[in-house]
Amino acid sequence: MDGVGKSKTGLGDAVALAHTPTLDMLIKECPHTYIKAHGTAVGLPSDEDMGNSEVGHNALGCGQVYSQGAKLVEEAIESGLIFWSSAWKELTAYCKDGGTMHFIGLLSDGNVHSNISHLLALMRQAKAEGIKKVRVHILLDGRDVPATSALSYVGTLEEAIKQLNDASFDARIASGGGRMKITMDRYFANWDMVKAGFYTHVYGEGRQFASAAEAIETYRKENDGVIDQDLPAFVIAKDGEPVGAMHDGDSVILYNFRGDRAIEISMAFDNEDFNGFERGHMPKLKYAGMLQYDGDLKLPKRFLVEPPQIKYTLSEQLVKQGIRSYAVSETQKYGHVTYFWNGNRSEKFDDELETWEEVPSDKVSFDERPWMKSAEVTDKVIQAIESGKYQFIRCNYPNGDMVGHTGNLDATIIGVEAVDLGLARLLPVVKKHGYTLIVTADHGNADEMLEKNKKGEITVRTAHSLNVVPFIVYNADCEIADGSFGLSNVAATVTKLMGVKGDPHWDIPIV
């Protein structure tokens, strides 16, 4: 149940407000506990860091805690290793002789896709190494941070630029837009969104403003109630000319560390045979990502920080024992039950033993159809159970997360109810065919959709929560063990309930 946690505050708790007779019954009658899905439990720097679907599914699928995303990058910056990487050296050398270093990424400290502190460290090092010109292409968040906080992050960046700029160094914000409008699509759901960002960043095509703050303030006046993630694209210009269009001899770094929303824009920059959209007369650029976002696709070819080398996954262990598995979700979370679950692998461990199935997501705002594809996903799981082919089945219901991110509480309540209805349909089939069902989540979101700001005012929250998530076992004779558990304890629990061999590297089972 993606994004379904247990609220501590009760503010905007769509899970509690929803009519969920099935989930209520499971918690009342079945062995259950609540487990950690954020912070150090999933390899992030501190327990103030929100979990996310990527690190959550890594932990679920591999049974261990690895340093992830922000923590990996922070360690590389603190040690200086990031600046000794071949990618950093190649890109800085390429643009030193009259070229520009461009940085593209999500401008916030949400620590889910990026952190503004990483951008500032890269800019400082660029100046220290003799780069004369830097341009920053900012993607506005409002999803992993407060919904209308963009101006504060722009202010922080502009102040850093002011301190860095001198006769030898010229840094400016060049373009931007909301993360759900440009650049950061995922799972190939909307290439037009990526194209819009590409043309904004590369060619400086779009509505022009004198500053990022002017763009944000103007769009807010013109679009009442719009939040940062939905702000249109903008270009910073002077005398009618974009200040940051890209040219031959420039270097480009995507400073996001999370992979899902970095893959498509990386393909647009990196792949010679790219056909997602017409790129136009593209300048000769060197491109790198903060991390390698897909190890199997080798994408991008250049990256600043080595990804975690995830080993001993649950899928690999099941394959070794000849156990057939089935994974399904709709497009928005398909990669999570496949790529991330399998330790950041695009390929299966065994094509014969592993079956993956994707249900195409609707291309609409998720609060318009908050039930999403929960019925179709449930259909697929029921078919998989009834086929008798699979000993292990996993599915993801994205509703609590994807609808929760819209900030629409009423719609999210419906989304949670749709998931509950899916569970209601599964239980009798699970019982009839002798399966055990584990119900859990990868992080919270729908459970905390409102928050108090610094003034004590109640505001919309679109980010993930720091709340624990349910862990419920249905149709098994077991007891919950004593202890504090997280998502990494689930893999060993699965094999124990199945009565098959686990991996000695895994964290202990919950039952």
Report the catalytic residues.
53
Assigned token pair, 255: 């400073």
Collapsing DSSP states into helix, strand and coil, what is residue 404?
Answer: helix
Is 283 in contact with 202 (CB distance < 8 Å)?
yes
Residue with tokens 């991390």: 291
Cis upstream peptide for 307 (omega within 30°): no
CA-nearest of 150, 73, 139, 70 to 105 is: 139
* Torsion angle in degrees (nearest 10) through CA of 155, 156, 157, 159: 80
Is 1 in contact with 403 (CB distance < 8 Å)?
no
Query: What is the spatial order of strands in the sheet that 32-35 belongs to?
Result: 32-35, 469-474, 437-439
Distance of CA 508 to the CA centre of its chain: 27
Residues 208-229 as b or e (16 or more Cβ within 10 Å = b): bbeebeebbeebbeeeeebbbb
Instruction: Give, as one character, the DSSP assignment of residue 283.
Output: -
CA-nearest of 445, 437, 444, 315 to 26 is: 437
Q: How far apart are CA 445 and CA 460, in angstroms?
A: 12
CA-nearest of 109, 135, 161, 156 to 235 is: 135
Judge residue 166's burial from the number of C-beta atoms within 10 Å of its C-beta, 0-12 exposed, 13-18 middle, 19 or more buried: exposed
User: Other C-beta atoms within 10 Å of 475: how many?
Assistant: 14
User: Other C-beta atoms within 10 Å of 146: how many?
Assistant: 22
Ranges of H-type helices in 130-272: 150-164, 191-203, 212-222, 263-270
Assigned token pair, 427: 């239980």
Ranges of H-type helices in 204-312: 212-222, 263-270
Assigned token pair, 440: 């859990």
CA-nearest of 342, 339, 349, 359 to 319 is: 349
Residue with tokens 């995507």: 254
Instruction: Tell me the helix, strand and coil percentages in the chain, rounded to 5.
Output: 35, 20, 45
Residues in the chain: 511
Ranges of H-type helices in 244-307: 263-270
